[in-house]
């Protein structure tokens, strides 16, 4: 009993202030959590809007689509159906990720309404070397993906970057990062496409 | 076998490729402050390795088994720092009681390192990197500590030589240490991209 | 921080101004070195980090100062850390809510404010010994000193690494960006050279004024003696 008393005597301030601090954090969290959630969604939607002009409505796809990652693990893909203001489908948008040269790369990838063509991608997060691998964010590199077919892409050292085909021309000095983006797209796109066709979300027409 | 290779790669990755000191600037204070002499640097490194391994594992367990199921992620930082402080205290008492000679060697650093960024850093990055097994958490947090030891020992060895070098007056002391650190970082950039 | 027995206003101004230069945490004391190196690739994140540190420093100084007479010696440090961690969590939530982009760039460096030595050092050295007002002023002063150091460093790095500061193009178009300054090496070398510059400047002033008190020698220790094995 006296031990308990001693314990309380020594630590009442710690206990009391922990309680107050906990309350303070809970209040802040309650006040801000909605906004934080909104921000997260808004960021994805903003990128999608840039890639698919005219996009206004973003509906998460309810169907479960399982992606097998290169390291053998499975995860569920997060896919958004992108609609214009008049409820007409503009395309699809999804988060994809993989490892780059210096760390993980996270991308937002969009396709057209029938999943025939890639409409472009943008980088959500990456830690590639500034000036080299970092150029996967450049328009020069990203433009090559616009209108590329949704079939496995290949990376080439030389070629015509203006051609809308499945061949992506690597960034000089950043082959690994260029390859990483191609690999990420190649991991996710075919799996999402075939599963969406199975589930009847998109037509079965070949490319 | 694959699992073993993955763990080994993860370990090498935090020791060399994603070394906390060289790529994330964590633990820069002791790295610049305590690296004057080799023996002290090594002692500091050992103490940090010990505590990172312990608190990295503990925080991972608390995070995965208590905070996430209860949706208390918001109190994460407070829990982490309390666990770290507790771990440091525990290690100090244990080492002092059972390994007095070891305590002589690195005990003096123990109170210092509860505010070492490496330790809180690894607890946070275990979450950022999405570590999803206990074994992985143990290996990576130990590796981080070893990476710190490697960095601080290299630095100490260079600084012992630097004491005899003819450094311009304006750059003596802290500035030349920082520039040396910069060049070391450049050297370690050579490891970038080796392990994903 | 035992103040001289001067007037109260002298005490306040001392609390406010020591942190700006004489005991500037980054340039003179060399403590809390992780953010100055990690977040100074551009001015905006550096400024955000600086303001966050001011917020946490002022709040924790205030709270610690208010409960300074109730502290038990052996539970002191843990009280400080819990207080700091609370305000850092709050600051992190605010950043996530109102500055999502900055919050993402700063990432784990926001929670790492908890272990920033400056804050616990001020709690220990100032707030646990002096009244609320002095503690707040001390927090503002130290925090501002830290922020200024961060801004100075990041301005140099951003200017040379990208040619613009705050999205304003400063350098002529023909300027070739020094991309190395955006990498970790740039942080160390720039800070090293800046400290060297400061050494030169203060040494000149020292000679000019011949006031030994005007320059507290930078915490650079005397050249270490090689360890004898």
B74 touches chain A (CB under 8 A): yes
Alpha carbon of A35: minimum distance to chain C alpha carbons (Å): 6
Closest of B183, B140, B126, B122 to residue B158, by C-alpha? B183
Residues 132-151 on B with a CB inside 8 Å of C are: none
Structural domain tally of chain C? 1
Q: What is the mean pLDDT of each run of 10 residues along chain B (196 residues)?
A: 81 85 84 78 84 90 88 85 85 82 70 77 83 86 92 90 85 87 88 70
| Residue A92: strand pairing partners | A81, A111
Whether the CB-CB separation of C33 and B181 falls below 8 Å is answered with no
Find which of A60-69, C78-87, C205-214 is predicted with most confidence, using mean pLDDT. Answer: C78-87
A168 CB-near residues (< 8 Å, 6+ apart): A144, A145, A148, A153, A154, A155, A156, A178, A181, A182
The boundaries of the domain holding residue C42 are 12-211
Domain residue spans in chain B?
Answer: 35-164, 166-196
**Does the pLDDT value for residue C58 go beyond 50?**
yes
* Residues of B with Cβ-Cβ distance to A72 under 8 angstroms: 2
C191 touches chain B (CB under 8 A): yes
B196 touches chain A (CB under 8 A): yes
C-alpha Rg value of chain C to the nearest Å: 19
C228 occurs within a structural domain = no
Alpha carbon of B1: minimum distance to chain C alpha carbons (Å): 33
* Residues of A with Cβ-Cβ distance to C93 under 8 angstroms: 25, 28-29, 32, 36
Complex confidence, ipTM: 0.84
CB contact under 8 A, C184 and B185: yes
End-to-end CA distance of chain C: 39
C219 occurs within a structural domain = no
CA distance C192 to C145: 18
Task: Report, as an integer, the average pLDDT of C184-192.
Answer: 89
CB contact under 8 A, C104 and A125: yes
Question: Could you tell me which residue, B181 or C6, shows the higher pLDDT?
Answer: B181
CB contact under 8 A, B193 and A101: yes
Domain residue spans in chain A?
Answer: 50-198
B6 touches chain A (CB under 8 A): yes
Q: Looking at residue C208, what is its pLDDT?
A: 67
* Residues of B with Cβ-Cβ distance to C186 under 8 angstroms: 182
* Three-state helix/strand/coil letters over chain A: CHHHHHHHHHHHHHHHHHHHHHHHHHHHHHHHHHHHHHHHHHHHHHHHHHHCCCEEEEEECCCCCEEECCCCCEEECCEEEEEECCCCEEEEEEEEEEECCCCEEEEEEEEECCCCEEEEEEEEECCCCCCCHHHHHCHHHHHHHCCCECCCCEEECCCCCCCCCCEEECCCCCHHHHHHHHHHHHHHHHHHHHHHHHCCCCCCCCC
A30 touches chain C (CB under 8 A): no
């Amino acid at each position: 009993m006296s031990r308990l008393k001693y314990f309380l005597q020594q630590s009442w301030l710690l206990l009391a202030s922990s309680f107050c601090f906990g309350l303070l954090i809970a209040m802040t969290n309650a006040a801000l959590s909605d906004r934080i959630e909104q921000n997260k969604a808004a960021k994805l939607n903003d990128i999608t809007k840039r890639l698919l002009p005219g996009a206004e409505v973003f509906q998460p796809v309810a169907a479960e689509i399982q992606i097998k990652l290169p390291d053998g693990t499975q995860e569920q893909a997060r896919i958004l159906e992108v609609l214009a203001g008049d409820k007409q489908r503009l395309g699809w948008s999804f988060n994809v990720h993989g490892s780059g040269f210096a760390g993980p790369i996270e991308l937002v990838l969009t396709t057209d309404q029938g999943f025939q063509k890639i409409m472009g991608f943008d980088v959500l997060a990456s830690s590639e070397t500034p000036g080299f691998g970092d150029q996967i964010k450049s328009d020069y590199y990203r433009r090559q993906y616009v209108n590329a077919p949704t079939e496995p892409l290949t990376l080439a050292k030389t070629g015509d970057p203006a051609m809308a085909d499945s061949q992506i021309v690597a960034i000089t000095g950043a082959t690994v990062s260029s390859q990483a983006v191609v690999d990420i797209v190649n991991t996710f796109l075919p799996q999402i496409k075939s599963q969406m066709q199975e589930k009847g979300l998109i037509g079965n027409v070949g490319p | 076998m694959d699992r073993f290779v993955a763990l080994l790669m993860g370990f090498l990755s935090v020791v060399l490729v994603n070394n906390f000191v060289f790529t994330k600037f964590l633990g820069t204070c002791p790295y610049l402050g305590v690296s004057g002499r080799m023996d002290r640097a090594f002692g500091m490194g050992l103490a940090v390795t010990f505590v990172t391994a312990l608190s990295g594992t503990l925080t991972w367990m608390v995070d995965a088994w208590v905070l996430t199921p209860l949706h208390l992620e918001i109190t994460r930082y407070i829990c982490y720092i309390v666990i770290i402080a507790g771990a440091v205290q525990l290690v100090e008492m244990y080492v002092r009681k059972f390994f007095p000679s070891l305590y002589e060697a690195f005990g003096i650093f123990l109170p210092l390192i509860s505010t070492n960024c490496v330790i809180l850093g690894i607890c946070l990055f275990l979450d950022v990197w999405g570590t999803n097994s206990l074994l992985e958490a143990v290996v990576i947090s130990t590796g981080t500590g070893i990476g710190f030891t490697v960095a601080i020992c290299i630095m100490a060895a260079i600084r012992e030589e630097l004491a005899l070098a003819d450094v311009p007056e304006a750059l003596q002391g802290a500035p030349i240490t920082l520039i040396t650190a910069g060049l070391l970082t450049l050297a370690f950039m050579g490891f970038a991209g080796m392990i994903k | 921080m035992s103040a001289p027995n001067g007037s109260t206003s002298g005490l306040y101004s001392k609390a406010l101004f020591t942190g700006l230069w004489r005991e500037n945490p980054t340039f003179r004391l060399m403590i809390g070195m992780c953010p100055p190196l990690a977040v100074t690739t551009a001015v905006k994140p550096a400024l955000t980090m600086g303001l966050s540190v001011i917020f946490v420093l002022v709040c924790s100084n205030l709270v610690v100062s208010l409960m300074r007479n109730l502290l038990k010696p052996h539970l002191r440090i843990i009280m400080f850390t819990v207080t700091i961690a609370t305000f850092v969590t709050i600051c992190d939530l605010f950043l996530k809510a109102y500055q999502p982009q900055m919050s993402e760039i700063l990432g784990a460096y926001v929670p790492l404010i908890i272990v920033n030595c400056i804050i616990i050092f001020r709690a220990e050295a100032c707030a646990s010994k002096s009244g609320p007002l002095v503690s707040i002023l001390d927090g503002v002063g130290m925090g501002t000193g830290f922020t200024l150091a961060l801004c100075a460093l990041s301005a140099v790095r951003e200017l040379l690494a990208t040619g613009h500061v705050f999205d304003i193009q400063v350098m002529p178009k023909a300027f070739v960006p020094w991309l190395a300054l955006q990498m970790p090496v740039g942080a160390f070398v720039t800070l090293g050279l800046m400290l060297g510059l400061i050494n030169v400047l203060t040494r000149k002033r020292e000679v000019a004024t011949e006031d030994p008190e005007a320059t507290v020698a930078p915490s650079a220790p005397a050249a270490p003696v090689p360890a004898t094995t």
